Amino acid sequence: MEERELLNYICEKLNNNQDVSQKFNLDNITYEVNFIGPNSEKGINISSIIIIPLINDLNREIMLEANNLETNNFNDILNQGVQTGLSLVNKTRCKPCPIIIPLLPSEKNQPYFQQLSRECFNLLPENKYYRLDEQVVKIIDLTKSILENKHKIKAKDKIFLNGYSSSGVFAQRFALLQPQLIEYACIGGASGSIPLISTDIEYPIGIKDYQILFGKNFDMDSYTKIKFKYYVAEFETINKSNSRFDENNMPAPMHDMSFFDRSVPYEVGKKQRQMLGAEMFDRANKTIEYLQNMGINISQKIILGRTHNNFSGIGVNELGDKFFREVYKDSLAYQNEYIKVQ
């Protein structure tokens, strides 16, 4: 079956509430790919892709990266989710692990679901996209159940969270909402919107209204246990938007979410820049220093000579992949040390 035919087949099955399982081989390893549709009985109203390496000596820490393609065409979202999964499979070949790709919707006249924007949390419980972060938690639980019941694998409690650009923004906000689930967070191309754990500014930058929005207190203890590894291209701010402007009415950087009110509400972004600076790198450095002084484990690497994406031919690409692999190997070493201590 051709790739496009297969995707159409899978879309049709998912739209009819039928899950699909496929297998493929890479480097003599067989992977089971589960395409999971919505399941209202489990409180899950979005589809997902769950990839499981069928080997004995796998890394039992689940990796999660959300899709980030802005389209309402589910076939295209599914295709991009598959590409994300294949990329993660390739980048974790040193020690394969289970992988989850939640397939988040994108509608222009809807909240920015792929970045867990503030408007996402104004939805009523009867809305199928209500509390997408909690739906993703249920997908993680479902994955753990599949691993244990079908494959006799006990997954680790905490996950490795990955993301770049929009999926990086999703990662930083998912960590803010569900910190108890995360061991490592590798986040690229999202340095303009690093959350500041401050009661002086609102979500998604601060936690001033956290209890009101989410019905719980911020879990600072769990948040300080996450190992945040950020990376960003040196020329991240060169590409400008033609519809967003800075304080001097000049075009704002395309990928600095502080200036994008669909991601960061206008007043929140304005206050963030007043507190920390309008220039993205200066603001990010001050944010990281502030968080480090609070005891949060966070660092950032600047990838020299590169831009945000590959449109110019000099995106982060293989250097971003190299950074990811280094962080992934660090997570494996940490797990081994933790086991020794235990």
SS3 191: helix
Instruction: Give the mean pLDDT of 152-167.
Output: 97
Predicted confidence band of residue 10 (pLDDT cuts 50, 70, 90)? confident
Over residues 13-34, the mean pLDDT reads: 89
pLDDT confidence tier of residue 342, bands split at 50, 70 and 90:
very low
CB 171 within 8 A of CB 67: no
Q: Which of 13-22, 127-136, 272-281 has the lowest mean pLDDT?
A: 13-22
| DSSP SS3 for 302 | strand
Please check the confidence at residue 340 and state whether its pLDDT lies above 70: no
Q: Is the Cα dihedral 203, 208, 214, 219 positive or negative?
A: positive
Contacts 24+ apart (CB under 8 A), 264-269: 264/193, 264/204, 264/205, 265/118, 265/202, 268/118, 268/201, 268/202, 268/203, 268/204, 268/205, 268/206, 269/205
The answer to whether 23 and 34 are in contact (CB under 8 A) is no
Q: How confident is the model at residue 30 (pLDDT cuts 50, 70, 90)?
A: very high
Q: Which helix (H) or strand (E) holds 89?
A: helix 74-91
State yes or no: pLDDT of 159 exceeds 60.
Answer: yes
Within a 10 A sphere around the Cβ of 318, how many other Cβ atoms? 9
End-to-end Cα spacing for the chain: 49
Cβ 171 vs Cβ 178: under 8 Å: no
SS3 content of the chain, % helix, strand, coil (to 5): 40, 20, 35
The predicted model scores a pTM of: 0.95
Question: Which residues, listed in sequence order, are joined to residue 52 by a DSSP beta bridge?
Answer: 32
Q: pLDDT confidence of 17, banded at 50, 70, 90?
A: confident
Structural tokens at position 243: 């519809």
